[in-house]
Amino acid sequence: AQKVTQAQTEISVVEKEDVTLDCVYETRDTTYYLFWYKQPPSGELVFLIRRNSFDEQNEISGRYSWNFQKSTSSFNFTITASQVVDSAVYFCALSGAHSGAGSYQLTFGKGTKLSVIP
Amino acid sequence: DAGVIQSPRHEVTEMGQEVTLRCKPISGHDYLFWYRQTMMRGLELLIYFNNNVPIDDSGMPEDRFSAKMPNASFSTLKIQPSEPRDSAVYFCASSAPGHYGYTFGSGTRLTVV
């Protein structure tokens, strides 16, 4: 069974602070994919990043960066110099690579609500 | 591309009524997923299809829920009869061959009173 744990339920930061959102996952698959989604107050789910299990390189996209550590089964997300527009719920998710039942779908964590205070 | 299109955006219905939610996936995507989001349970998978065939419906809560995908461009999720505990946001998502990620629709907010 797959499981994603986001231990931080809510985080508040002051604008321009850096913030890291934690994600720990469990899977028996040797090949899998990790994702981060953003859900702003408007409610849609916005794709941020996809990572496969063979690529442990960290990734940076503007103010966003992701740290994937297979040894600790973690895929953490850092926002540098946070802005009010970053306020949202952020979901970490996991899927297997196989198309069989129980593996291919996204398993989501419970989400971390980030509030950036001006 | 118009993305994944869901309708209606909002639905308010009375307990006991039938509710039908609709989804049009992105053209060329061969996987379609239905998720439900509630405060208590978060985002949970209800069912998913591959090439219009249901692959895993173990997340469908009970027989009151049914889903169909008659063709590659349309899927429905039906609740009959609806109950207040079905109130949630229902998301549809589709995925392309090669597993390059999932695109979600805007969701349908269902309120059963």
pLDDT in tens, B2-38: 799 999 999 999 999 999 999 999 998 989 999 999 9
Average pLDDT over residues B67-78: 97
Phi (first) and psi of residue B20, to 5 degrees: -125, 120
A22-26, B40-44, B100-104: the lowest-pLDDT one: B100-104
Whether residues A45 and B89 touch (CB distance < 8 A) is answered with: no
Phi (first) and psi of residue B85, to 5 degrees: -70, -5
Using an 8 Å Cβ cutoff, are B23 and B5 in contact? yes
Whether residues A110 and B102 touch (CB distance < 8 A) is answered with: no
Strands of chain A (E only): list them. 3-5, 10-14, 19-21, 24-26, 32-39, 46-52, 59-61, 64-69, 74-79, 88-96, 107-108, 112-117
Q: Please give the radius of gyration of chain B, using alpha carbons only, rounded to the nearest integer.
A: 13
Alpha-carbon torsion (B19, A91, B29, B33), positive or negative = negative
Length of chain B, please? 113
Q: Which pLDDT value is given to residue A1?
A: 77
Q: Does B96 touch chain A (CB under 8 A)?
A: no
Closest CA to A117 of A38, A45, A10: A10
Q: Does A43 touch chain B (CB under 8 A)?
A: yes
* pLDDT > 70: percent of chain A: 94
